[in-house]
Chain A
Amino acid sequence: MGKILEISNASVGYDDDIILRDINFSLSDLDFVGVIGPNGGGKTTLLRLLLGEIKPVKGSVKYFPMAPNETMFGYLPQVSSIDHKFPISVLEVVLSGLLGRKRIGGRYTKHDKKLALEMLERMSIADLRGKAIGELSGGQMQRVFLSRALVSHPRLLILDEPNTFVDNKFEKELYQLLKELNKEMAILMVSHDLGTITTHVKTIACVNRNLHYHPSNVISTEQLAAYDCPIQLITHGTVPHTVLPKHSK
């Protein structure tokens, strides 16, 4: 148990176009952070910064690995970023989640395949293992990409809008699953869905050019206004929620 990563005074972007300014943020084991904020506010940029995809122009991102060979991240990208016609099978996709553990050019072992198949079974989609990615429904595809993210047992699971393109049944299962996973790993989830976020996460990060960390899953209109975080609301059914007025800057 301990700190996983720490961002200090980091700015991201180009000289004339700073997307995130002077952000401070840290993540520890078993955290469950919901990331909210308007489109174009820098949510995806924050994920790319965490993943080490982009370097800050100012400030630093520090990682605190516990074991030399641990898998730090499991990453679930937005489904819309995936080429659905790509010739690749479900099992191959899940196996790609183990690539980081290998030397470059290393072969997959029987054990790797067993891990991948167990993961598919846990997601109850083992029967789809030979299917091409393009033959799946939205919910099935999300399960496959979640399997890929989880197969290496990461310390931190990063989810970019996991509840888009999926049916209600899968969404319920997803949150149940995340609750279980959170007993073993930290989770950071980007979502448009404030209602869902507040019922499932432990803490909230509001991202809109700046980052305001809110150390609770209850957030009020006034606080959102103070954080300058006008978010788009999508609500489903009976989840308790408050519809917040759009506030001026």
Chain B
Amino acid sequence: MFQIFKDFFDFQFITNAFLAALLVAVAAGLVGSYIVARRLVFLSGGITHASFGGIGIAYYLGLNPILGAAVFAVLTAFGVEALSQKFTVREDSAIGILWSVGMAIGVFFVFLTPGYAPNLMSFLFGSILTVSTQDIVLLLILDAAMIAFFILFYRPILYLAFDPVFARTQKVPEKLFTYILKAFVAITIVLSIRLVGIILLISLLTIPPTIANLFTKRFDRIIYISIIVGFVGAILGLVVSYGLNVPSGVTIILALTIIFLISRITRYVMVKIKTQYA
């Protein structure tokens, strides 16, 4: 076991993966807590899957796939609103449409691309081998921007998520804030794709806040606990992924699920003990 850990850090890509896990845990903790509290999970799932369209087109044109994913993710985040408001499509239907249209476009262009697309699996299920120094830098910028935004505007973010109508009566610029937060959701999703992949990403965003919500009902504490849980899950997942040569997205999500089960049981026992001695 110790040997695995020692080998682990001997490689540059492992150090990158470790750094990425930490940085993704921070971004996913912030964004995840927000989307779970505001019930935007389905929208986030749509953004994640639709971004595959951008990856496919970027492959075909020989561009950076993450750039393509970013364009599609942001377009989807705002496209859902445009579809539901301008064209009176029901919002969940609009999400469902963009979700699969994005995937279809992605697969279409991957198949049109001459030659073999070797990284396709890693985009779907994540791979620690593909985390580059450029990804690390982008994640650092995203984390810094999001931490600053959440610290400066914690109250408006919280109150807007809780009761938008009342927040507007309190002069919170709802439109601007919602746009900024949607952009953060979209970019976090895109930069997490390397680590966990498109198919499994939504659990990375939703499991940590769900675990945190077992132990606290305060939004700020949910964020802190989510970041820690996300980081622990990602590291455990990476070690197993390296040891067993299984895609990292798979092992990270399974690790988070095990943490959730342990937490649920712990919570159950805690409540039992409390009621017995109360």
Chain A interfacial positions (CB closer than 8 Å to B): 51, 53, 73, 75, 77, 81-83, 86-89, 92-93, 95-97, 99-100, 104-105, 108, 132, 134-135, 148
Q: How far is the CA of A95 from the CA of B156 in the complex (A)?
A: 11
Within 8 A of A (CB), among B163-178: 163, 165-173
On whether the beta carbons of A75 and B156 are closer than 8 Å, the reply is: no
**When the two chains form their complex, are residues B169 and A75 in contact, meaning their CB atoms are under 8 A apart?**
yes
Residues facing A in B36-86 (CB within 8 A) are 37, 39
Binding site for A on B (CB under 8 A): 37, 39, 152-153, 155-156, 158-159, 161-163, 165-173, 213, 216-219, 222
Whether the Cβ atoms of A87 and B216 lie closer than 8 Å is: yes
Closest B residue, CB atoms, query A74: B169
A87-B218 contact given A92-B158, A96-B155, CB 8 Å threshold:
yes
6 nearest interchain CB pairs? Answer: A132-B217, A100-B170, A99-B170, A96-B159, A100-B171, A87-B219
Q: List 13 additional contacts besides A75-B166, A92-B158, A97-B170; criterion CB under 8 Å.
A: A51-B165, A53-B165, A53-B168, A81-B165, A87-B37, A89-B218, A99-B172, A100-B171, A104-B156, A105-B152, A108-B155, A132-B218, A134-B217
Q: Are the C-beta atoms of B219 and A88 separated by less than 8 Å? A: yes
Q: Could you tell me the distance in whole angstroms from the C-beta of A115 to the nearest C-beta in chain B?
A: 15
Report whether over half of chain A's contact residues are helix, strand or loop; otherwise say mixed: mixed
Main secondary structure of the interface of B (DSSP, over half): helix
Which residue on A lies nearest to B153, using beta carbons?
A: A105
A99→B155 contact, CB < 8 A: yes
Tell me the complex Cα distance, A73–B168, Å. Answer: 11
Q: Which residues of B contact A82 (CB under 8 A)?
A: 162-163
CB closest residue in chain B, given A72: B169
The answer to whether A99 and B159 have CB atoms under 8 Å apart is yes
Q: With A83-B39, A86-B37, A96-B162 given, is the CB distance from A51 to B169 under 8 Å?
A: yes
Q: Do B165 and A88 touch across chains, with their CB atoms under 8 A apart?
A: no
Other-chain residue from A83, A87, A100 in contact with B222 (beta carbon distance below 8 A) = A87
A204 to chain B minimum Cβ distance, whole angstroms, is 24
The residues of B that contact A75 with a CB separation of less than 8 Å are 165-166, 169
Give the shortest distance, in Å, between A216 (CB) and chain B (any CB): 30
CA distance A134 to B162 in the complex (A): 12
| Interface CB pairs A-B, < 8 A, 18 | A51-B168, A51-B169, A77-B163, A82-B162, A87-B213, A87-B217, A87-B218, A88-B158, A88-B162, A88-B219, A96-B163, A96-B166, A96-B167, A96-B170, A99-B170, A100-B171, A104-B173, A105-B153
B181 → A minimal CB distance (Å): 14
State whether B155 touches A86 (Cβ < 8 A).
no
In the bound complex, do residue B161 and residue A86 qualify as a contact, i.e. CB atoms below 8 Å apart? yes
Q: Kindly list chain B residues whose C-beta atoms are within 8 Å of the C-beta of A134.
A: 217
The minimal Cβ–Cβ distance linking B205 to chain A, given in whole angstroms, is 16
CB pair B172 A104 closer than 8 Å: yes
Bound CA–CA A29/B132 (angstroms): 64
- Bound: A93/B158 CA distance, A: 10
A residues near B166, Cβ cutoff 8 Å: 75, 77, 96, 148
On chain A, the residues within 8 Å of B155 by CB distance are 95-96, 99, 108
